[in-house]
Amino acid sequence: MNCIIVDDQDSARLVVRQLCEGIKDLDIIEEFSSAIEAIKFLNQQSVDVIFLDIHMPGFSGFDFVQTLKSAAQIVLITADKDLAIEAYEYESISDYLVKPITQERFKKSMNKVKNKLHRTSMIQHGGSSSDLIGNDLYINIDRRLTKLKFDDILFIKAKGDYIDVKTHKEMYVVHSTLKKIKDKLPDNIFLQTHRSYIINFTKIIDIEDNSVLIEKNVIPISRSNRPELIRRLNLL
């Protein structure tokens, strides 16, 4: 995840920076002491998370939220406990942190944001790393273009010059390669677990040392692909 910090006080930004240091996979790409400058930046570049102070001279945090066109998740940071109800009226506000913020509270907040971002990207099937439009893929079966919903695909298996695309009801054999289909799939849902397999991450039932179970299918996990699979899990 990448983020920006918007707060007019240097000390407050430094505190948030330190809290961010404690979160894996969270990169600060910019800091702003002015809300206007942050808005200008966000018109040019997208981010996942915005840490935002509510009280800033000339432009309140709520003005900022209303002006914002970005799909970023906002974490409000404030000294006021009283504005929480107003804050939760905005869909884009993921959390409301009251100063002084502890590392523990910040971690909880980031888990909340991660889950929300994950849910959002699942719905959009896009995410910042993909320019796919829609929720489906057309495959060529006997000169007919058949539509498959991403969510219906369980896994894909390479088989020479062909691939097997397995859905809940069917197994489609398509003349293509794993590499080609991988480029057409949203990488927030699909993951390569083996040189011959791509799985729909959301369909996993359980995971053993070197295999995952999807419906009744046991899919191998290679040693090199295992760390990425583990990294993506919401592990307790």
Partner 1 sequence: MAQEPPFISPSEKTYLKGLVHLKIKIMSEMPNFNYIDQLADGDEAFKSKLLQVVKNEFPLELEQYHEAVSSSDLSKIASVVHKLKNKISMLGLESSYLIAQEYEESLKQNKTSKKESFEEVLTLMTDFINSF
Residues that bind partner 1 (CB under 8 A): 9-12, 14-15, 18-19, 22, 55, 57, 79-80, 99-100, 102-103
DSSP 46-100: --SEEEEES--TTS-HHHHHHH-----EEEEEES-STTHHHHTTSTTEEEEEESS
Pick 54 or 204: Cβ nearer partner 1: 54
Q: Which two tokens stand for residue 3?
A: 């983020």
Least distance (Å) from partner 1 to the CB of residue 115?
25
Nearest approach in angstroms of CB 79 to partner 1 is 4
Using the minimum distance from each CB to partner 1, give the nearer residue, 19 or 174: 19
User: Nearest approach, Cβ of 66 to partner 1 (angstroms)?
Assistant: 20
For residues 149 and 122, the answer to whether their CB atoms sit within 8 Å is: no
**In the chain, where do the E strands start and end?**
2-6, 27-32, 49-53, 73-78, 93-98, 136-141, 144-149, 153-159, 162-167, 171-175, 190-194, 197-200, 204-207, 211-214, 217-220
For residues 71 and 84, which CB has a smaller minimum distance to partner 1 in the complex? 84
Which residue, 12 or 65, is less far from partner 1 as judged by CB? 12
In whole angstroms, the minimum distance from the beta carbon of 171 to partner 1 comes to: 53
Contacts of 192 (CB under 8 A, 6+ apart): 178, 182, 198, 199, 225
Find the shortest distance in angstroms from Cβ 59 to partner 1: 13
CB of residue 8 to partner 1, shortest distance in Å: 8
Nearer to partner 1, 78 or 193 (CB): 78
Q: Is the dihedral of CA 46, 48, 51, 52 positive or negative?
A: positive
Residue 91 beta carbon to partner 1: minimum distance, rounded to whole angstroms: 27
Residue with smaller CB distance to partner 1, 15 or 132: 15
CB atoms within 10 A of CB 128: 13
Q: Residue 61 or 127: which CB sits closer to partner 1?
A: 61
Residue 68 — φ and ψ, nearest 5°?
-65, 130
Q: Tokens 């796919």 label which residue? A: 132
